């Protein structure tokens, strides 16, 4: 009898101790540890060099596109106005994650406070949403230019272009507000180690305690509004664009029309495709290791490809680049 009572009391004490530890962890957890690429200790220096070079190329490539499309008279069209916005967006986009990644590769302490983590996530989601909207606006511009060429100057006037760009940025800012509040108002008691190199939505949600169903529903709704619907609109635009191009009597005209659209279509496919894979999959089924490496694709590699795609596949930009380099006396 006494032995049973003693066993019961010991079990209850252990249970209470475990509950106390969980509560203590919830109340004292004030930061995350970004694991990043700590599992590759021998490659830290190599990865730092690679990511630094990529970051510099992204900054230089997109800055060059901004300067060229701003100063060259032949590129003062709606298409290049949106491309200039897109390039500026890409500079901001990589600057949210890559500098932190480079710093973490050089130090032992990889902690990030809740506030800093929430801020990074908010800016990252804002820029990602804005990029989806800008790509959609660029698709609409190509649709009007190719399917309604006679009314194109009237429809895509300066006022409408500015309004579309402003709408993209403002809507992008509003998108993550509720999501960020919902995520960081949840208790975190599982661990404070993020198997990622920045505060992305899925890995942070995986560390939240309790029922995260409402958060997952909110993520799904936002992903549908920000990724799926714009992607469908872009695809719809290109169905009409391709149909119109195929009806052109001149082979030269068809080739020129395809060349102005193919760059944008490649970027859209890469960006939206990776976004659907990461944010439309239920958080509970996410593989943190896989997400980390997939994130490298849409946070670093796609921004690296964009200047290359838009420059090398666009004759007008290449000509303008040649003129620009001659003006600054670059041999």
Residue pair 183/208 in contact (Cβ under 8 Å)? The answer is yes
Domains of the chain: residue spans and CATH? 41-327 (1.20.1070.10)
Residue by residue, pLDDT tens for the chain (331 residues) are 444 434 444 444 444 444 434 444 444 467 889 988 887 888 888 999 999 999 999 999 899 889 888 888 888 889 889 989 999 999 999 999 999 999 999 888 888 998 999 999 999 999 999 999 999 999 899 899 888 888 999 999 999 999 999 999 999 999 999 899 999 888 887 678 888 899 988 888 888 887 788 888 898 899 889 988 998 998 898 888 888 888 877 777 677 667 667 777 777 887 887 777 777 766 555 555 677 778 888 888 888 888 777 766 667 777 777 777 777 664 4
Instruction: State the SS3 of the chain.
Output: CHHHHHHHHHHHHHHHHHHHHHHHHHHHCCEEEECCCCCCHHHHHHHHHHHHHHHHHHHHHHHHHHHHHHHCHHHCCHHHHHHHHHHHHHHHHHHHHHHHHHHHCCCCCCEEEHHHHHHHHHHHHHHHHHHHHHHHHHHHHHHHHHHCCCCHHHHCCHHHHHHHHHHHHHHHHHCCHHHHHHHHCCCECCCCEECCCCCCHHHHHHCECCCCHHHHHHHHHHHHHHHHHHHHHHHHHHHHHHHHHHCCCCHHHHHHHHHHHHHHHHHHHHHHHHHHHHHCCCHHHCCHHHHHHHHHHHHHHHHHHHHHHHHHCCHHHHHHHHHHHHHCCCC
């Amino acid at each position: 009898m006494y032995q049973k009572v003693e066993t019961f009391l010991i079990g209850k004490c252990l249970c209470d101790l475990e509950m106390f530890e969980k509560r203590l962890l919830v109340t004292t957890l004030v930061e995350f540890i970004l694991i990043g690429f700590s599992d590759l200790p021998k490659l830290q220096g190599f990865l730092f060099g690679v990511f630094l070079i990529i970051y510099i190329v992204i900054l230089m490539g997109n800055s060059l596109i901004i300067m060229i499309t701003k100063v060259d008279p032949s590129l003062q069209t709606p298409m290049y106005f949106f491309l200039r916005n897109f390039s500026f967006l890409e500079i901001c986009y990589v600057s949210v994650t890559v500098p932190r990644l480079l710093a973490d590769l050089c130090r032992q302490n990889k902690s990030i406070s809740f506030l800093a983590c929430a801020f990074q996530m908010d800016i990252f989601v804002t820029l990602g949403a804005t990029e989806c909207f800008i790509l959609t606006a660029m698709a609409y511009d190509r649709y009007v230019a190719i399917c309604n060429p006679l009314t194109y100057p009237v429809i895509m006037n300066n006022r409408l272009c500015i309004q579309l760009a402003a709408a993209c940025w403002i809507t992008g800012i509003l998108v993550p507000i509720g999501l960020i509040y919902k995520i960081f108002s949840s208790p975190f008691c599982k661990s404070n180690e993020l198997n990622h190199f920045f505060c992305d939505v899925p890995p942070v949600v995986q560390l939240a305690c309790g029922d995260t169903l409402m958060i997952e529903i909110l993520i799904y709704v936002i992903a549908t509004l920000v990724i799926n619907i714009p992607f469908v609109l872009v695809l719809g635009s290109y169905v009409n664009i391709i149909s119109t191009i195929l009806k052109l009597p001149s082979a030269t005209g068809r080739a020129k029309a395809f060349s102005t659209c193919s760059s944008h279509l490649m970027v859209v496919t890469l960006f939206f495709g990776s976004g659907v894979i990461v944010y439309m999959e239920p958080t509970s089924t996410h593989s943190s290791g896989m997400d980390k490496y997939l994130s490298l694709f849409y946070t670093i590699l796609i921004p690296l490809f964009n200047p290359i795609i838009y420059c090398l596949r666009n004759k007008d930009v290449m000509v303008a680049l040649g003129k620009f380099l001659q003006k600054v006396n670059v041999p």
